[in-house]
Structure formats: structure tokens, C-alpha cells
Amino acid sequence: MVKSALIIPTGVPSLDLILNGGLHTGYLTHAFGEAAAGKTTLALHFVSAACRLEVGTVFVNSEGATPIERLEQITNKKLEEIERLVTILSPKSFSEQGTLIDDLDLYSREGTRLVVVDTLTRLYRAALEDKEINYAAHRELNTQMGILKGLAKERDIAVMVLNQVRGRMDEPQGFEPVARNIMDFYEEYSMRLRVGRGRAERIVERLIPEGEPSKSVMYLAMKGFTAERGTGENSEMEPEENLTQEQR
């Protein structure tokens, strides 16, 4: 059966506006940013939206911390209520991550329309510490991105890859995505997340495709991103006190 194109929104109007409605099936979206910028929170908005649409998600989690608690906050549901729609895979090494990505077809349940990899380059960077396998690691990352883009096209799935950054003084923001050349080759949508000046303030920008509007100022809250300073359950969160690692 041929799948129809689908747009998966965050449900936050100002975010969806800069994404032309949300994540588009059939495309690979690359989102990068400094630590605590909100990459995982952004991805989990899409997972939550996919659950509302009753379509499946495969979430490849290479981070040390589990995304389950943050997912439950954003969806306002216990994992048991949505686990039929969400598959979480947790590779422990870069080679294991490659195996999981290679076998994503096997893990994708009927109706899967979203794949998230958080964070694609964490285990890759760990592998680079062994100088003897540097070339193999670069080649493997290229292979993984190729498989993910192919999955997006062949299965009409929205693929979102989260990425870390490295410092670079000649860049306007002082950083660039890890493995930039590889990411540039495969990405079709590109997003940059930054820590803002105010408490819990985050700046989300669409870099590719170009065009306006492309930037949104957001605030991190218990329920995820909000466009305005919140109160109550949507009150802003202190990143270091309330969020761990990339659950931001």
C-alpha cells in the first residue's frame, strides 16, 4: 500500500510555522545545538505529535539517560499508554548503533512514520578516540546517514537526526555541527538550537531550506517548548536543576 505524505507538527504554532507545518515524511531533518539547547525536547514534541496522530515512532537513544520521563511529561501519558506506538532502542557502542540503523526496517512496526536518532554523533565521537579506527568511523557515519535518508525516501518516513556541536571561532555562533560535511550532504531540513539570554530561553532556527520565517524564540517548560513565559505546569524550567544530559 502506498503511503500518503504526512506532516507531523509539534503542536507549538510558532515552531511549526518555521518548519512549514512540522516534520515532513520522506525527508531527513538534521537538528544540532550546544548542550542544554533543547534538542531532545524538540524531538519528543514530534514523538508526542506522532502518538496523537496514532502513527508509530522508532526512537534510537544513544544518550546515557533514558528519554522516558521527559516523554511522559510532554505527552502527559505514561509509557504504558503509548508503548504500542513508540519503540525505544538503546545502542551501547557506535558499531551497535550502526547495526540497529541497518535493521530499522525490522524494528519499524506497521504504521511507523517517524524515526528519531538522539544523538547520532555521541557514540561516533567516542569511537574517534581510537585513532586506529578513525577512517572506519567516518565511513560508518556516512553509511548510517545514507541508510536513514534511504529509509525516509523508500518508506515515506520522517527522519530526525540530532547532533552535537564542536567549537569553531570563525562561525557566527562559535560552533558548528559535528561531522558537518557528512551532515551537509544528506540533510534536507537543517535546524540550529541555541541557549538564549533569559531564564530557560531557547532560540530555534531553520537554516535549510532558506526563507522567512526561520527563527523562533521559545522557553523550556515542564510540558516542553512554549512560545511565552509560562506559569503552573508550563512554568519555565531551570536547565541544570530539572533536566539531565540531553533531556532538554
> Residue 230: what pLDDT?
60
- Residue 247 domain flag: no
* pLDDT tens readout for residues 229-248: 764 445 555 443 444 444 44
pLDDT digits (tens, 9 = 90+) for 152-184: 999 999 999 999 999 876 777 789 999 999 999
Domain assignment of residue 218, yes or no: yes
Stronger pLDDT, 241 or 145, i.e. the higher one: 145
Q: Going by C-beta distance under 8 Å and a sequence separation of 6 or more, which residues neighbour residue 163?
A: 30, 31, 32, 39, 119, 120, 121, 177, 178, 179, 183
Flag whether 60 is in a domain.
Answer: yes
Percent of the chain with pLDDT over 70: 91
For residue 1, tell me if it sits in a domain. Answer: no
Residue 108 and residue 112: Cα distance in Å, rounded?
A: 6
106 in a domain, yes or no?
A: yes
Residue 146 C-alpha from the chain's centroid = 17
> What's the number of domains the chain is made of?
1
Residue 34 lies in a domain: yes
pLDDT of 120: 97
pLDDT in tens, 201-218: 999 999 999 998 899 999
Q: What is the rounded average pLDDT of the residues 128-155?
A: 93
97's CB contacts (< 8 A; 6+ apart) are 60, 62, 91, 120, 123, 144
**82 grid coordinates:** 503509548
Q: Is residue 62 part of a domain?
A: yes
248 within domain boundaries = no
Question: For residue 85, what is the domain's CATH number?
Answer: 3.40.50.300
Asked whether the predicted pLDDT for residue 48 surpasses 60, the reply is yes
> What domain range is 191 assigned to?
7-242
C-alpha cell at 109: 512496526
